[in-house]
Homo-oligomer: A and B are copies of this chain.
Amino acid sequence: MQIGKAGAPVSHISQAYPDRVEVRGRDLTGDVMGRLSFTAYFHLLLTGHEPTEEQEYFLDVLLVAIAEHGMMPTNVAARMTLAADPGSLQGAVAAGILGCGPVILGTAEECARLLERDDPAAAVKQLRAGGQKVPGFGHPVHKPLDPRAERILDLADARGVSGTYVGRARDVRAAVEETWGRPLTMNVSMPIAAVMLDLGFPASAVKAVPILARTGGLLAHLAEEQQHPVGFLMAAHAEEAIEYERDD
C-alpha cells in the first residue's frame, strides 16, 4: 500500500557503482577522501554544498560545544543498556540517541523557529502571557551564564559571523529579562540556532548538529563502559532512590 501521496522517486545524496561511489556529484574516493574533513563532508552530505571556511569552522565549534556534558541522562541510559546487552554497541548508542528530545537537547530547532519569526522579542511576551516557556532559556547547572553559549557568541562576534539571527538572539535575551523581571540563563541551544541561521543553514537542519555531536559523546561513554563498567552501579543507585508503595 502507498501511504499518502508518492513524491518523485529521487534521491540526491549518493550511489554506489561496482568501481566507484558517487556522493553529491563527486567521486568519493578520488575527490573527497583525503581532501574533506568529516565536518566538511557532513556539511556536504546534509546541504549538498561544501562549506565555506567560516561554515566549517563554526560547524566544528558547535559540534564540539554540544557533544559532551558529563553524565547526562542520555549517557546514563546508554551505559545501562550496554551493561544489559554488551554485544550491541549500536543498541546502546540508539538508546542514548532516543533521549535527544526537546527537554535535553531538542530545543535548538525550536530556537531557530523562534528566531525566524518577524519579531522574536514580541513573541517572547506572547509566550509568557500564554503561560508557555521560551525555548533556549534556563539550565539546571549553568547559572547565571552558560559558558558554552557565551563562547559561541564571542567567537561569532570575533570572526564577523554574527548577523541578523545572533542579533535577534540577544534581543530575545533582553526581552526575556524584561518580561520575567530578572535574567534567565540563555543556554547553548539559542546561539547554536542563531549562528547556524546566520551561516545559511535551514532551520530544519539545526537539530542534526546536536544529534551527530551527542553520538560522539555517547561513543566515548560506551568505550569507557566497556573498559570500566558503571552502568549497573548507576542502575542500582537509581533504583534505590525510589520507594515502592502499595496502591491504597
A14 and B85 contact, CB distance less than 8 A: no
Any B CB within 8 A of the CB of A186 = no
Residue of B nearest to A231 (CB): B73
* Nearest CB of chain B from residue A234's CB, rounded to whole Å: 4
A41 x B67 contact (CB < 8 A) = yes
A29: which B residues are within 8 A, CB to CB?
65, 147-148, 150-151
Task: Closest B residue to A220 by CB, please name it.
Answer: B45
B residues in contact with A60, CB < 8 Å: 36-38
Residue contact B230 to A34, C-beta cutoff 8 Å: no
Contact of A148 among B21, B39, B143 (CB under 8 A): B21
Q: Which residues of A contact B (CB under 8 A)?
A: 1-4, 6-25, 28-30, 32-34, 36-39, 41-42, 45-46, 48, 57, 59-61, 63-65, 67-74, 76-77, 80-81, 83-95, 97-106, 140-143, 145, 147-148, 150-152, 155, 204-205, 207-208, 211-213, 215-217, 219-224, 226-247
